[in-house]
Amino acid sequence: MKKISITLFFLILFSFTAIAGWTQQTSGTTKSIYSVFFADTYNGWAVGMDGLILKTTDSGINWTQNPSFTQSHLKSVFFVNVNVGWIVGFNGKIFYTNDAGETWQQQVSGTTSWLYKVFFANATTGWAVGLDGIILNTTDAGANWTKQTSGSASFLTSVFFVDANNGWIVGEDTNATKSLILKTTDAGQNWVQQPSINFNHFEDVFFADNNKGWIVGLNGTILYTTNAGVDWLQQSSGTNLEFTDVYFLDINIGWVIGQGGLILKTTNGGTAWIQQTTGTIQELMGVSFVNQNTGWAVGDQGTILKYSDSAGSQVRIISLNNGESLCPNTNYEIQWDGVPAGDTVRIEYSTNNGTDWILITDSATGLKYNWKVPFTPSTSCAARVITKTTKTTTILDTIKIGNQVWMQKNLDVDHYRNGEPIPNVTDSTEWANLTTGAWCYYNNDSANGAIYGKLYNWYAVNDYRGLAPEGWHIPNDAEWSILSTYLGGESISGWKMKETGTTHWEIPNTGATNESGFTGLPGGWRSYPDGSFLSLRSYGYWWTSSDFNATLSWSRSLISNDVILHKDSYSMEYGFSVRCIKD
């Protein structure tokens, strides 16, 4: 029987919708991955538990595991180009490659201390730091490593240099049980401790230039400096989870990662940090970016995430590769890229060079689809993939106040931004003992929710999956202060924000004009520690995304009998209303 073939030529089409996102890649392991480094868009390495070394040459589509040559945990990997790199780990282990990681040679470190971070300022000059205050330096690509003096037996977690002379080390001063910052201006010949900061532990440090840098650590700590570390100031992260790594592309664009799959991004040097949806709850421990559109994060349980910002880019078929002859009634795998793997796409084919299109599927995900080729012989065929918008759109009542755009109603959602449900907890004892996100109606009565929205604990506000709808976020303490300042200050702004009349507010609703359009409503609150409901129609409380300390977070409130916008901190277990502000 004669074989009849169908020849398909792929078409590249612009995406009708494009979003930025993190997608899971297949690592082939469940071991913890501690560090990742990409030398360019395609070539990357990741290291981790029990001597794990992974490598990719295709942007992480495929990760291959190196044969094991050590059982020591490998904590950090760094490359100066696509061929030359180093790995450090427990028991003083240092490994070197000059063939892109095809082979690794052990270098003599002269220590058995656990090494946590390696960094090279150029192809020959580098440092490694770790336990017991160990600082190692090389000026010959690791042929010789020599010890430098840290001045303490500290736990050193990270090192960063902006050039061959100027660098910083962070960690924990185990003698004083406080965080530690060291700086050098002479390539480490002398390390000087910078002013003490009242934090327990720092995990990572990164500088975007000679003056601007960031440090991250426990309890959602993000510090920044604009004067090379002479002064360190705290930035608001909106969380008390631990951050493990930080990466900046320039003085504006950066990411921090940490516990619970948390990733925050800033585009203004950390003035505002916005949570990104990651789709994982695993602790993330390493991050690497090659440009503002492409990066990777790694962590527990073999987690590897890739970040792709497809805004303004193309979704394209990468297989078919143009001109294949496909046999009818056989299966063929169509592959595409340019969108996150979780995006749903529509795939079509044509037998007349695109004059007419025939549906293959409108629900393909995962960047590949197995297609049974139809019996329609032609030499004028084409295939295309089109992104689909699957999320429902809600029209929100909004009001612009100054330069801010606010929702005019209290939040009333029962799912996080990624689609996962938020538990509705009605039992008072259960509510009081929560350490994870939850919502309720006042008095567990949906009729109250129809007017005042839902009450949320602060854990829901802070959840990495995102409480606010796409394009919005929970305002931080500073953003609430901007609002009150615009309205004349906290002492008088309340009357401009309260809904007028006594339909929803109890008498007297002092001074209410709502001239701002904010339309504040008295949704009451759910108390802690007894989980009771209080003050419907007399008090309205709203969470900010800013924590005050490990157990308290900032809020704002309006009261029936005064005109003040009150600022207070409350236990994270309280149930308050939430308002959103536009990104």
In the DSSP assignment, the letter for residue 101 is T
In a domain, 1, yes or no: no
Domain end, chosen from 309, 325, 353, is at 309
Mark which of 350, 366, 387 sits at the end of a domain: 387
358 inside domain: yes
Residue 90 has pLDDT above 70, yes or no: yes
| Dihedral of alpha carbons 227, 232, 234, 240, sign | positive
Residue with tokens 């650590």: 217
pLDDT at 515 over 50: yes
Statement to judge: residues 552 and 405 lie in one domain: yes
The CATH number assigned to the domain holding 90 equals: 2.130.10.10
Asked if residue 508 has a cis previous peptide bond (ω within 30° of 0), the answer is yes
Q: What angle do CA 382, 383, 384 make, to 5 degrees?
A: 130
Residue 228 falls inside a structural domain: yes
In a domain, 111, yes or no: yes
Whole-number Cα distances in Å, 559 to 215, 481, 498: 39, 18, 9
List own/partner pairs for 159-163 with CB under 8 A and 24 or more apart: 159/117, 159/118, 159/119, 159/127, 159/128, 159/129, 159/135, 159/205, 160/119, 160/205, 160/206, 160/207, 160/213, 161/119, 161/121, 161/127, 162/121, 162/207, 162/209, 162/210, 163/121, 163/210
In a domain, 545, yes or no: yes
pLDDT at 18: 33
The domain in which residue 324 lies consists of 6-14+312-387
* 365-374 pLDDT per residue, tens: 888 888 888 8
| pLDDT the model gives residue 389 | 37
Q: Count Cα neighbours of 4 within 13 Å in the Cβ-side half-sphere.
A: 9
Average pLDDT over residues 224-253: 93
Note whether 351 and 472 are same-domain residues: no
Taking the whole predicted model, whether its pTM rises above 0.85 is answered as no
Of 387, 421, 444, the position where a domain reaches its end is: 387
443 part of a folded domain:
yes
Amino acid (one-letter) located at 23: T
CA distance linking residue 441 with residue 426, whole number of Å: 8
* Percentage of residues of the chain with pLDDT beyond 90: 62
> Is 300 in the same domain as 328?
no
Q: Per-residue pLDDT for 337 more than 90?
A: no
Co-location of 64 and 180 in the same domain: yes
Give residue 538's pLDDT band: very low, low, confident or very high (50, 70, 90): very high
Same structural domain, 371 and 476: no
Same domain for 305 and 316?
A: no
User: Residue 153 has which token pair?
Assistant: 């037996």
| Structural domains counted in the chain | 3
325 and 381 both lie in a single domain: yes
Distance, in Å, from the CA atom of 435 to the CA atom of 428, rounded to the nearest integer, reads: 14
CA dist., res. 525 & res. 155, Å (int): 44
pLDDT at 320 over 90: no
Instruction: Report the pLDDT value the prediction gives residue 241, as an integer from 0 to 100.
Output: 93
- 358 and 412 in a single domain? The answer is no
Q: Which two tokens stand for residue 68?
A: 């094991």
- What CATH number did the domain enclosing 317 receive? 2.60.40
Model pLDDT, residue 327: 76
What does the mean pLDDT of the chain come to? 86
Q: Give CB contacts under 8 A, 24+ apart, made by 237-241.
A: 237/264, 237/273, 238/264, 238/273, 238/275, 238/461, 238/462, 238/474, 238/476, 238/545, 238/546, 238/547, 239/264, 239/462, 239/547, 240/462, 240/547, 240/550, 241/462
Query: 453-494 pLDDT, tens per residue?
Result: 999 999 999 988 889 987 889 999 999 999 999 999 999 999
Does residue 381 contact residue 349 with C-beta atoms inside 8 Å? Answer: yes
Residues 221 and 340 occupy one common structural domain: no
In a domain, residue 122? The reply is: yes
392 domain-assigned: no
Tell me, yes or no, whether 298 and 318 share the same domain.
no
Tell whether 304 and 319 lie within a shared domain: no
Q: Note whether 226 and 300 are same-domain residues.
A: yes
Give yes or no for residue 339 having a pLDDT over 70.
no
